[in-house]
Amino acid sequence: MSNYLILSAILFGIGTFTVISRRNAIGILLGIELLLNAVNLNFIAFAFLRENSVGLVFVLFTIAVTVAEVALGLAIVILIFRLKKTIQADEVNLLKG
């Protein structure tokens, strides 16, 4: 059991790394996918341990919401791209100050 958890922890760490270090906005979204995956794995492991189906339901919800989020995220990326002509995350600092 703890193997599964450790695995998900490592995945989470790699996901964090991706999100912080990738310059491309779409790269960042990929990192977010990794994070979410790690979390789902965690949930399922615990659901298996406790013989509780609620964990599975939750994961389903998560997946569905993630899909929606990705769609919107990409739409925003495209918009920002139109605005700033770049999808380098470094250069999008409109919130500065």
Partner 1 sequence: MPEGTQIIFFITAALLLISALGVAFLKNLFHSVLALAAVLVLTAVLFLTLQAEFVAAVQILLYTGGVITLVVFAIMLTEKLIGTRLTQTNRKMAVAGSLSLALVLFLVYAIRQEKLLDFSKGFSFDATREIASGFLSEFVVPFEALSLLLLASLIGALVLAKEDENE
Partner 2 sequence: MNLNAQLALWVFLLPTLAAIILGVVYPLRRSGKPAAYLSIFGVGLSTIFSIWNLILIKSTPVSVSIKYHWLPASSGALAYVGLWLDSISAVMLAVVSGVALAVQVYSLGYMSQESKPSLGRYYTYHSLFAASMLGLVLANNLLEVYLFWELVGVCSYLLIGFWYHKPEAARAAVKAFWVTRFGDMGLILGIILLWGQTGTFDYQEIFSLVKTSQIPLGFLSLVSVLMLLGAFGKSAQFPFHIWLPDAMEGPTPVSALIHAATMVAAGVYLVIRLFPLFESVPLALGVLTYVGSFTALLAASLATRQADIKRVLAYSTVSQLGFMMAALGVTAQVASYFHLFNHAFFKALLFLAAGSVIHSVGSNNLSEMGNLSKKMRITSAVFIAGGLALAGIWPFSGFFSKDEILVAVGRSGQVLPLLFLLLTTFLTAFYIFRAVFLVFYGPKKTEADPHESPRVMTSPMLILAALSLVTGWFSGDFEHLLYPGLEVETYPSALPWISLGLAIIGILTAWLFYQKQKRAPALLTRSLSPLSQAIDRKYWLDDLYGLMYSKILLGFSSLIGWIDRYLVDGVVNLSAWLTGQSGSKLRIAQTGKAQDYLIGVTVGLLVLIILGLGLR
Residue 74 region, left (φ>0) first, then alpha (ψ -120 to 50), else beta?
Answer: alpha
Shortest Å distance, C-beta 56 to partner 2: 26
Cβ neighbour number for residue 8 with a 10 Å cutoff: 19
29, 73 Cβ separation under 8 angstroms: yes
Shortest Å distance, C-beta 51 to partner 2: 26
User: Quick one: tokens of 30?
Assistant: 């990929």
Q: From residue 59 to residue 78, what is the string marking binding to partner 1 with x (rule CB under 8 A)? A: xxx-xxxxxxxxxx-xxxxx
Q: Does 47 bind partner 1 (CB under 8 A)?
A: yes
Shortest Å distance, C-beta 93 to partner 2: 3
Q: Does 68 bind partner 2 (CB under 8 A)?
A: no
Q: Does 80 bind partner 2 (CB under 8 A)?
A: no
Give contact residues for partner 2 (rule: CB under 8 A): 16, 19-21, 28, 89-90, 92-97
